[in-house]
Each structure stands twice: as C-alpha cells, then as structure tokens.
Amino acid sequence: MCGITGFFGVKNKNLDETTVIKNMLSMIEHRGPDQAGYYVNNSMGLGTMRLSIIDLAAGIQPLSDGTGQYWISYNGELYNYIELRRRLQVLGHNFSTESDTEVVLRSWMEWGDEALEKFNGAFAFAIYDTVKDEVFIARDRFGKRPLFYTQTDGGYLFASEMKCFFGFPGFEFKFDEMSLSSILAHWTPLPSQTPFQGIRQLPPGSIMTLRGAQCEIRPYYALDFRAVDFDGTENEAKEEIRNTLEQAVKLRLRSDVPMGLYLSGGV
C-alpha cells in the first residue's frame, strides 16, 4: 500500500515547495515504510511513500524516464507488467529498473491515454511532463486505489489520502452537509463524493489533466452490460469461468516479497 501526493499550479510566491511536499508526505508515512521520495519544479511537486513489492532496490520514486522530461509517482500493482515490458522493449524502450512503475511510465510515453486500456491492475498515478508543464493523473477501472483532489491558491492538490492536504499552508477542511447526508443514507460516498467541501475523488476509470489553471476530467473506461454470446454448454461455461479466475489469481501472485493468504467470507 504505497501513497502519492502532489500539487500543481499554485500561485503562492512564498511557497517553499520542498518543505510543503515533505509536510504532505509526512501525513501518509504509514502507507510506505520502505522509501519516501519527492520531486519539485517551480509551482509543482510530486511525492511518494513506497511499500516495495516489485524491484525492491531500484524502484525508487518519483521515477524519471532518464531524460528528466517525465516524472511519475505511482501507487498500485500492474499485474501484466511483464508482458507490457516485453512489448515496449520490442518497440525500442530501454529499462533502467525491473519495476512495474517504469512500465507504467514508458507505456504512457509510447501510447498516451491508450496505455490505460492495456493496463490490468489496481493503480493511481500522476505523471508530470516538464516540457509541456502538464500533469496527468489516472485511476484504475474500479477505483481500487484512492485518489483525492482539491483546488487552492489557483492550483490543485492531489493525494492518496485527504489528510495530505493538512500539509499545504492555509488549507482548511470544512464539512459538506449535503454530502454527509448522502453518505449516511447510502452508507458509502457516491462517485466523486467526499464529506468535505471542495474535495473530490477522481472517479474510477478516469483521467485528469492539469494544464495551467485548467482541469479536464474524462473517462477512459465504462462497464459494458451487454450480453455476451456464448454457444457452449453449461460445463464449458463453468470451465471458462474457472480458467479466468485461475489466470487472475496467477497474475496477482507476482511479487518480489513473501506472500500470505487469507480467506474472506464473500466473493
């Protein structure tokens, strides 16, 4: 369980970017006992608290593409990173680590938004393009990894946990009574909703682009409820489901650290 945080486009001329990103990271130390890292550039900052799962030594974040144009802070697991890495190597990409973080970054460099359609995983990440001065933030299809954002001082803050915003000078939390009543009624926040004014969740299956003072959010995935044509027998259907589940479990067992197993009461 890693954690990421950052800010972009804030207009506070007295802002000490390094101190601020360190303060924001300090709020989520519990999410990453293995490594804390940050990158700052004028009015933006990226930070990561890392829990090492893949490439324990070399997967330090934020990670650069090697030229310094792109930087990524990443929280998650890309289950099909080995297959994507091979495809990227064929396309001419040279890797400096064995981490899935670098696969995410180089996939973005190669395919842009279309990379998200190729990802099989649980993730939330932010990529900063130093040439275009843009930040791209994305969340996995089902929102398994959290990502919150808010606007302040003419710019934006984002993080795996809302408490990171305590680390930004002058930011205040105020309850949103309408959201609270909705959360209490449904026993869970609705998409994008939080209990606080001005703080939102990036919806699952969405990408956010920060460019200057502009913020664009668009979906890259939506559930397809159309019936699937299947001409096989009931036993063949059972076998296909079993094979699909076994393959899903196999992909999730990729790890450079010891694993454990526990059984939940539901499916």
**Distance between start and end Cα atoms, the chain:** 22
Whether 164 is catalytic: no
3-class secondary structure, 186: helix
- Classify domain 3-219 by CATH architecture: 4-Layer Sandwich (3.60)
Percent of the chain with pLDDT over 70: 96
- What average pLDDT score do residues 214-238 get? 88
Chain segment 114-160, per-residue pLDDT in tens:
999 999 999 999 999 999 999 999 999 999 999 999 999 889 999 99
pLDDT at 23 over 70: yes
Provide the whole-model pTM: 0.90
Mean pLDDT over all residues of the chain? Answer: 91
Higher pLDDT, 33 or 42: 42
Percent of the chain with pLDDT over 90: 68
Higher pLDDT, 163 or 183: 163
pLDDT band at 246, cuts 50/70/90? very high
pLDDT at 191 over 70: yes
Q: CA–CA distance from 234 to each of 18, 209, 230, 238, 241 (Å)?
A: 60, 46, 10, 6, 11
Chain segment 77-103, per-residue pLDDT in tens:
999 999 999 999 999 999 999 999 999
Higher pLDDT, 42 or 141: 141
Distance CA 102, CA 92 (A): 14
pLDDT band at 56, cuts 50/70/90? low
Distance CA 79, CA 253 (A): 9
pLDDT band at 32, cuts 50/70/90? confident
Distance CA 150, CA 165 (A): 9
User: 């930040």: which residue's tokens?
Assistant: 135
222: tokens are 């939506």
Catalytic residue among 2, 15, 84, 104: 2
pLDDT band at 53, cuts 50/70/90? low
Instruction: Please state, as a whole number, how many other Cβ atoms lie within 10 Å of the Cβ of residue 220.
Output: 16
